[in-house]
A and B are shown apart, each in its own frame.
Chain A
C-alpha cells in the first residue's frame, strides 16, 4: 500500500512568496495531521482534520498559515507570505478509525525561506 505522499519534497523560496505544500493521506484514513519540525521546537502539531473537517487548528502559528482538505484524498498547507522563520520540515500524517490506531507520517516537505 502507498504511504502518505507529500509534495514538494524540497522547496527553497524567497521571503514574501506564497508556499503551498500538498498531501495525499493513506487511502481509507479519515484523520489527517499537519506537523512542523524544527531543531528548537521539535515536532509541533499545526492542525488536524477528521473526515475533511478541521478539528483543532490551535497550533497554526498565525494568519499567514492556512490549511484545507477539499476531499478525503487531498490536503494543502499554505503559507502566505512566507518568512525565514517558517523554514522547517513540514510533515503530513494520517490514521484510521480505532482508538489504538497509530499515526503514519509522510516523508516531509523541507522548506527553506531565504
Chain B
C-alpha cells in the first residue's frame, strides 16, 4: 500500500515562487508524477520523476529524493491562472496505475 501526504492548502502572491511538498511511503516505487487540476476540470499532466534530482519544464520544476520519499513541485513567476489543485501521484513497481495524494489547493492572489 501507499501513503501520500501533501499540504491541503497554500496561498501565494502573483509573481512569487511557491514550493508544494509531497512525501510518500510505498512498498515499491517506479515514478512520481505531478498533475494540475483546475476546478471542475480533469487533472492534466505536469511532470514525471523516476530518478533523484530536479526536472525543469518552463516555470515548473519537480524534485525527487527516493531515499527520503520526498518530492516537491516548484512554481516560479506565479500567475493567477496557476490557482488550482496540484496532485502528487506515485506509481509502484508492480503496476501501471497511479495512486494520488489528496491534492494541494493553491490560491494565487494579486
Chain A residues with a Cβ under 8 A of chain B: 31, 33, 35, 41-45, 48, 50, 55-56, 91, 95, 99-100, 102-108
Instruction: Report the contact-size class of chain B (Cβ under 8 Å from the partner).
Output: 20 to 34
A75 shortest CB reach to chain B, Å: 15
Central interface residue in A31, A42, A95, A106, by most chain B CB within 10 Å? A42
Describe B's contact surface by its main secondary structure: loop
The complex places the Cα of A44 from the Cα of B97 at a distance, in Å, of 11
Instruction: Contacts A42-B102, A100-B50 given; indicate if A107 touches B42 (C-beta within 8 A).
Output: yes
Contact status of A43 and B45, CB under 8 A, knowing A56-B95, A99-B30, A102-B33: no
Interface residues of B (CB under 8 A from A): 30-31, 33, 41-45, 48, 50, 87, 95-103
Contact A105 B33 (CB under 8 A): no
Interface centre among B41, B98, B103, by most chain A C-beta atoms within 10 angstroms, is: B98
